[in-house]
Amino acid sequence: MEDTADNAARRAAAIELLNDLQCPFTPQADGSLFVPGRIDLSNKKLTILPDLSMVDVGEDFFCDGNQLENLKGAPRAVAGTFDCSKNELVTLEGAPIAVWNFVCEENPALTSLEHAPQDFKKLDSDLGYYSSWDEVPRSLRLSEATRARLEKEVVRGATVLQSPLAVRPPLSFRK
């Protein structure tokens, strides 16, 4: 993890939060923090997650029962269950890259699994129950907005002429 002033500030904020929550942690050589236990932010009326994106959790992470619309700030990896059920999620942006069990049920505005962890053993959602990313239907892997943007890019990329064509008078050769 690159050591920048921004990372140092994010790390300091994460340390302060972990201390407030009385969660023991161990600083790692790459600048990240390892919490060997669990972190519970359930039912705290949160509209955004505190920035724990430099944290790896050894057990479970709970942020269910809040008012989250996305998962920005979530830990980067969770060895146990990551539960973000009963929120107002419209996107899974910010979700950890790897979890054992990803639970995102009772989020009625969620229409795709775009940004969900692709490394999991179990994913439970209103859109289905899966034991690997390969089982997730292609139609759920991207949001409608992303699909439309990609289709537009493909059409634009397939266009032969992407700039105006200048037509000049024909050349005449001397005999």
Residue 18 neighbours by CB under 8 Å, 6+ apart: 25, 33, 35, 39, 55
Residue 146 — pLDDT band, cuts 50, 70, 90? Answer: confident
Average pLDDT (75-101) is: 97
CB 68 within 8 A of CB 52: no
For residue 140 the two structure tokens come to 């759920």
Per-residue pLDDT tens digits for 89-144:
999 999 999 999 999 999 999 999 999 999 999 999 999 999 999 999 999 999 88
- Other beta carbons less than 10 A from residue 113's beta carbon: 25
In the predicted structure, residue 175 carries a pLDDT above the cut 80: no
Average pLDDT (47-61) is: 97
- Least confidently predicted of 56-60, 128-132, 143-147: 143-147
For the chain, the domains span 34-157
| pLDDT attached to residue 152 | 80
CB 94 within 8 A of CB 116: no
CB 107 within 8 A of CB 129: no
Per-residue pLDDT tens digits for 153-174:
776 655 555 666 566 666 666 7
Q: What is the DSSP letter of 119?
A: B
CB 136 within 8 A of CB 117: no
HEC assignment per residue over 74-108: CCCEEEEEEECCCCCCCCCCCCCCEEEEEEECCCC
Give the Å distances, CA to CA, from 130 to 18, 93, 133: 32, 19, 7
Q: Are strands 33-35 and 26-27 parallel, antiparallel or unpaired?
A: antiparallel
